[in-house]
Amino acid sequence: KAVIPGGSSVPVVPGDIMLKANMDYDSVAKVTGSMLGSGAVIVMDDTTDMVKVLQRV
C-alpha cells in the first residue's frame, strides 16, 4: 500500500511508486520525491490502517 522510506520525518510514498526506486539515497529522492533519511523503512500492506500507523509515528 505505502512506504515511509526514512522514518517519521519524510513523506509517505505509495507502494507502486516505491517499487520503481532502488533503495539508495539518490534513487529514492529522484523517483519518489521523498528520501531515505535515517533509513528507518516502514512498509505497509493492504491490511494496514494507515491512520493508526501515522498517529503512532
In a 10 Å sphere around its CB, with 0-12 CB exposed, 13-18 middle and 19+ buried, how is residue 6 labelled? buried
Type of residue numbered 37: G
In a 10 Å sphere around its CB, with 0-12 CB exposed, 13-18 middle and 19+ buried, how is residue 7 labelled? middle
Between CA 6 and CA 39 the distance in angstroms is: 5
Give the start-to-end residue ranges of the domains of the chain: 2-49
Mean pLDDT estimate for the chain: 90
Tens of pLDDT, residues 2-24: 999 988 888 999 999 999 999 89
Between CA 50 and CA 27 the distance in angstroms is: 25
- Please check the confidence at residue 47 and state whether its pLDDT lies above 90: yes
The percentage of the chain sitting over the pLDDT mark of 90, rounded to a whole number, equals: 56
